[in-house]
C-alpha cells in the first residue's frame, strides 16, 4: 500500500541482488510454514478506511455528546488547539528516540523543558523523561525503592486510597522479587483512613510508603507528619499526584516526599479511552542515579554551543543488560511534549485558574448533591475536584438514568471497595457548566424518588 516500487524497479533490484524472484529471498524459512494464507478482510482505500473508522467512532457516545462527571484516574479537560498543532508536526511525530543528539535537539530540548516543568510543578529536584502512565510510574517507584535498599527492606505499604489500578500494577511488577510483602490496602481496609492510620504499619523492614494526592476519593491531606514517620523508619515516601491539583495545592516536595509519581493525562492529553497517557516520575537529587527511564541533560558542543543529550545512560538496559534495574526503552515522548506545550501555554496563572475552576465547580456540585434527600457526602477532609457521594440506590441504576438524560455519571466505587456499595465518585472539571451540574442534581433527585 505504501510501497513505492514499480515492476521495472523491482526487476532492477532483484538483478542487483542476483536472485530471480522475491520469493527466493525467503528460502531460509521452513517451507512447511512459508507464505501462509491470511484470513484478513480485503484492503480498503484511504477513503473507505476513513468511512469505516468514522462509523466505528460513531458507535460510541463520547464526552462530546454527554456531560461527563466520570473521573477516577482520567479527566475531561479542555485542550487548547495549539497543543495538537505542535505534536502533529512531522518533525516531532516521526522522529526516533534521540540517540543521535546532533540531529535531535528539538526532541531533546523539549524533554529537558518537560523535566523542568515537572520538577517545578512537583517541588522536587529532578524529573525523568516520563514513564508509560500513572500506574507504571507508581510501580517503578516501588522497584526503585527495592533497589535502593538492595532488597533488604521487603515491606511496601500502600494506602487503600491509592488508585486501585496503580496498586494492582505495582503488585504485578513486584511478582518476580522474592520475599516482598505488600500491605495496607487489604480488601477490608478502611477506605476512609487518614494518613496517621498508616503509622502502625511502618517499621524497619519498610522500603516504601505510597499515598495519593489528592487521594482516590479526591481528598487533600497534609502528609508532613506521615513523611516524618516514614523517614524516622528509614524508608522512602512516594506520593502519586494529579498534576492539575498542583496548580493550586502544596507540593509533595513541601511534605518531604522522596518520589513523586502521577498520571499526566490532565495536562493536555485526550482521554482517548485510556491511553496513551503520561507517567510522571520525579525525585530528589540524591536518587538521580537510581531513576529508571531516560534523562536529558544540558551540555555544550566543541564550539561551546549549548545543546542537550541523553545522560546517565549507564543505568539503562542497552548498556547494563541484565544488571539494569528497569527494561524501559520507549517512553511517552510525544505525550510528554503535549504536556510541555500545555503547561507552557497555561503558565503559572492559567494552570492555577483551571485548578480553581475545577475546585469551585466541584464544590458547588457537592453542596447541591449533599442537599438532595437520600444522598450524603462522605468527605471528611478538604477535596479538590472529585468527591464521594453515598447514594440511596445502586450506582449502576443511577448511571443508567443519567445516561438517558445525556449525562455520564460517576464511578461506581463498589467495584473496588466492598464496603462502598452504593457510593459514587463524582468528578467535576472546568468543562462542566453550571447547567450540566444543575441537570445532574435534578436527575439524581428524580432517581431517588423512583
Partner 1 sequence: MSEPTIYELSSPGRRGVRYPASDVPLSPLPEDCLRKDLPLPELSELDVIRHFTNLSKLNYSIDSGYYPLGSCTMKYNPKINEETARLPGFAFTHPLQPVETVQGNLALMFELQEWLKEISGFASVSLQPAAGAHGEFTGVMIIRAYHLSRNDTKRTKMLIPDSAHGTNPATSAMSGFEVVGIPSDARGNVDLEALKKVCDDQVAGLMLTNPNTLGLFEENILEVIQMVHNVGGLVYGDGANLNALLGIARPGDLGIDVMHFNLHKTFSTPHGGGGPGSGPVGVAKHLADFLPGPIVDIIEEGDDDTPPLYGLVTPPKTIGRVKSFYGHFGMMVRAYTYIAMHGPDGIRQIAENAVLNANYLLSLLRGKYHLAYDRICMHEFVLEGRWDDAPEVHALDISKRLMDYNFHPPTNYFPLIVHEALMIEPTETENKQTLDAFAEAMLKIAEEAHSNPQVLKDAPHNTPVGRLDEVKAAKELVLCCWIPEKDA
Q: Write out the binding residues for partner 1, residues 150-179 only, by CB under 8 A.
A: 163, 165-166, 168-169, 171-173, 175-178
Among the listed residues 314, 299, 253, the one whose alpha carbon sits nearest the alpha carbon of residue 121: 253
120 binds partner 1 (CB under 8 A): yes
* Of residues 89 and 203, the one with the C-beta less far from partner 1: 89
Tell me if 408 contacts partner 1 by CB under 8 A: yes
Of the pair 120, 422, the CB lying nearest partner 1 is at 120
Q: How many residues does the chain have?
A: 450
Cell numbers at 78, concatenated = 479542555
Shortest Å distance, C-beta 435 to partner 1: 8
The binding track of 51-70 with respect to partner 1, each residue x by CB under 8 A or -, is: -xxxxxxxxxxxxx-x-x-x
270 contacts: CB under 8 Å, gap ≥ 6? 79
Distance CA 108, CA 60 (A): 37
> DSSP 3-state assignment of 315?
helix
d(CA 450, CA 36): 59
Q: Note whether 130 binds partner 1 by CB under 8 A.
A: yes
Using CB under 8 A, pick the residue from 193, 197, 256, 344 that binds partner 1: 344
- Give the phi and the psi of residue 99 in degrees, each rounded to 5: -75, -25
Stretch 299-318: interaction string toward partner 1, x if CB under 8 A: xxxxx-xxxxx-xx---xxx
Give the nearer residue to partner 1 in terms of CB position, either 233 or 426. Answer: 426
Cα angle, residue 338 at apex, residues 359 and 287 outer, rounded to 5°: 85
- Exactly one of 152, 190, 360, 380 binds partner 1 (CB under 8 A); that residue is 360
Is 36 an interacting residue with respect to partner 1 (CB under 8 A)? yes
Could you give the maximum distance between any two Cα atoms of the chain, in Å? 84
| Smallest distance, partner 1 to C-beta of residue 233, A | 26
Q: Which of 141, 238, 261, 334 forms a contact with partner 1 (CB under 8 A)?
A: 334
What order of strands is seen across the sheet that includes strand 155-158?
A: 126-127, 279-283, 259-263, 236-241, 206-213, 155-158, 181-183
**Per CB under 8 A, which region of 31-39, 149-157, 200-208, 236-244 contacts partner 1?**
31-39
Residues 260-299 that bind partner 1 (CB under 8 A): 263, 270-277, 288, 294-299
**CB neighbour class for 327 (10 Å; exposed up to 12, middle 13-18, buried from 19):** exposed
Tell me the site size for partner 1, rule CB under 8 A: 208
Give the Cα-Cα-Cα angle 129, 70, 276 (nearest 5 degrees). Answer: 30
Nearer to partner 1, 132 or 192 (CB): 132
By CB under 8 A, residue 7 contacts partner 1: no
Closest distance between partner 1 and the C-beta of residue 335, in Å?
6
Amino acid at each position: 500500500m505504501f510501497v513505492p516500487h514499480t515492476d521495472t524497479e523491482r526487476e532492477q533490484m532483484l538483478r542487483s541482488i542476483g536472485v530471480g524472484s522475491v520469493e527466493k529471498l525467503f528460502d531460509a524459512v521452513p517451507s512447511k510454514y512459508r507464505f501462509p494464507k491470511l484470513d484478513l478482510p480485503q484492503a480498503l482505500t484511504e477513503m473507505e478506511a476513513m468511512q469505516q473508522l468514522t462509523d466505528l467512532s460513531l458507535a460510541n457516545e463520547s464526552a462530546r455528546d454527554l456531560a461527563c462527571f466520570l473521573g477516577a484516574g482520567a479527566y475531561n479537560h479542555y485542550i487548547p488547539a495549539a497543543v495538537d498543532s505542535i505534536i502533529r508536526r512531522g518533525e516531532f511525530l516521526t522522529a526516533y528516540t534521540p540517540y543521535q543528539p546532533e540531529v535531535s535537539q528539538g526532541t531533546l530540548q523539549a524533554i529537558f523543558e518537560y523535566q523542568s516543568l515537572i520538577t517545578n510543578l512537583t517541588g522536587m529536584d529532578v524529573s525523568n523523561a516520563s514513564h508509560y502512565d500513572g500506574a507504571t510510574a507508581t510501580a517503578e517507584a516501588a522497584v526503585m525503592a527495592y533497589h535502593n535498599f538492595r532488597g533488604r527492606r521487603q515491606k511496601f505499604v500502600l494506602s487503600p486510597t491509592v488508585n486501585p489500578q496503580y496498586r494492582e500494577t505495582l503488585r504485578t511488577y513486584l511478582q518476580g522479587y522474592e520475599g516482598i510483602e505488600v500491605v495496607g490496602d487489604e480488601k477490608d481496609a478502611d477506605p476512609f483512613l487518614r494518613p496517621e492510620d498508616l503509622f502502625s504499619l511502618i517499621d524497619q523492614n519498610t522500603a516504601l510508603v505510597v499515598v495519593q494526592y489528592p487521594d482516590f476519593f479526591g481528598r487533600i491531606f497534609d502528609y508532613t507528619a506521615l513523611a516524618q514517620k516514614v523517614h524516622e523508619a528509614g524508608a522512602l515516601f512516594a506520593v502519586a499526584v494529579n498534576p492539575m491539583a498542583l496548580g493550586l495545592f502544596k507540593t509533595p516536595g513541601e511534605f518531604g516526599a522522596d518520589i513523586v509519581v502521577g498520571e499526566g493525562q490532565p495536562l493536555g492529553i485526550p482521554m482517548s479511552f485510556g491511553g496513551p497517557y503520561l507517567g510522571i516520575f520525579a525525585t530528589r537529587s540524591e536518587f538521580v542515579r537510581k531513576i529508571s527511564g531516560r534523562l536529558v541533560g544540558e551540555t555544550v558542543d566543541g564550539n561551546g554551543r549549548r545543546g542537550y543529550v541523553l545522560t546517565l545512560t549507564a543505568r539503562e538496559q542497552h548498556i547494563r543488560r541484565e544488571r539494569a534495574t528497569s527494561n524501559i526503552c520507549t517512553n511517552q515522548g510525544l505525550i510528554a511534549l503535549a504536556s510541555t506545550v500545555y503547561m507552557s501555554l497555561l503558565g503559572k496563572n492559567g494552570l492555577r485558574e483551571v485548578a480553581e475552576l475545577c475546585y469551585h465547580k466541584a464544590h458547588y456540585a457537592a453542596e447541591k448533591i449533599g442537599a438532595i434527600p437520600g444522598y450524603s457526602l462522605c468527605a471528611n477532609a478538604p477535596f479538590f475536584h472529585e468527591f464521594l457521594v453515598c447514594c440511596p440506590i445502586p450506582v449502576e441504576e443511577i448511571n443508567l438514568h443519567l445516561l438517558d438524560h445525556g449525562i455520564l455519571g460517576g464511578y461506581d466505587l463498589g467495584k473496588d471497595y466492598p464496603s462502598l456499595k452504593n457510593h459514587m465518585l463524582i468528578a467535576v472539571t472546568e468543562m462542566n457548566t453550571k447547567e450540566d451540574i444543575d441537570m445532574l442534581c435534578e436527575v439524581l433527585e428524580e432517581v431517588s424518588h423512583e
